[in-house]
Amino acid sequence: MIEQLKKFDNNVFAVEIIDGFTETDEKFCQKLFEEKVSQGYETINLLVKLDEMKISHSNAKAFFEDSLWALRNYHKLGHIAVVAHSKGLKAMVPIDNLFFERASKGRQERYFDVSQMDEAFEFVQKTSN
């Protein structure tokens, strides 16, 4: 299940994935993203809280389709804040940054522990356009 954490009047949206990630959740995220694009924003900053997500309750097809969608729309993604309490995710964020470095000048993905939620919100907001 996905829940919008907070609404913003700029190019930022923030969501939390609770329990599992489904195809319905995937469509909801895409809808939020497209709403920001239709408002005229060239890049969209995203905060995603994954602290209560359970991979075992998630739909593999939804993850695959979401990954493909993200790759197709990567040029529209701005800064990304990943909020969780996971050593695995913390290790993956710098790898993502290295992998996509050439394709995303000026874009940054950062990991924040759940205790740093306020800092994560500041990160995506201070880089908004």
Q: What is the CATH number of the domain that holds 67?
A: 3.30.750
For the segment 47-70, the average pLDDT, to the nearest whole number, is: 61
- 129: part of which helix (H) or strand (E)? none
pLDDT at 54 over 50: no
* Segments forming the whole domain that contains residue 49: 2-126
pLDDT at 125 over 90: yes
**What six digits make up the tokens of 100?**
């996509």
pTM, full prediction: 0.81
Taking Cα atoms as reference points, which of 92, 2, 103 lies closest to residue 47? 2
User: Token match 């497209």: residue?
Assistant: 34
pLDDT at 5 over 80: yes
Taking Cα atoms as reference points, which of 58, 54, 53 lies closest to residue 22? 58
Distance CA 88, CA 7 (A): 28
Predicted confidence (pLDDT) per residue in 8-26, tens digit? 999 999 999 887 777 888 8
**What six digits make up the tokens of 123?**
């990160």
Beta-carbon contacts of residue 13 (< 8 Å; ≥ 6 apart) = 4, 7, 32, 33, 36, 44, 45, 46, 47
Look at the chain and report how many structural domains it folds into: 1
For the segment 36-54, the average pLDDT, to the nearest whole number, is: 84
* 85: confidence class by pLDDT, cuts 50, 70, 90: confident
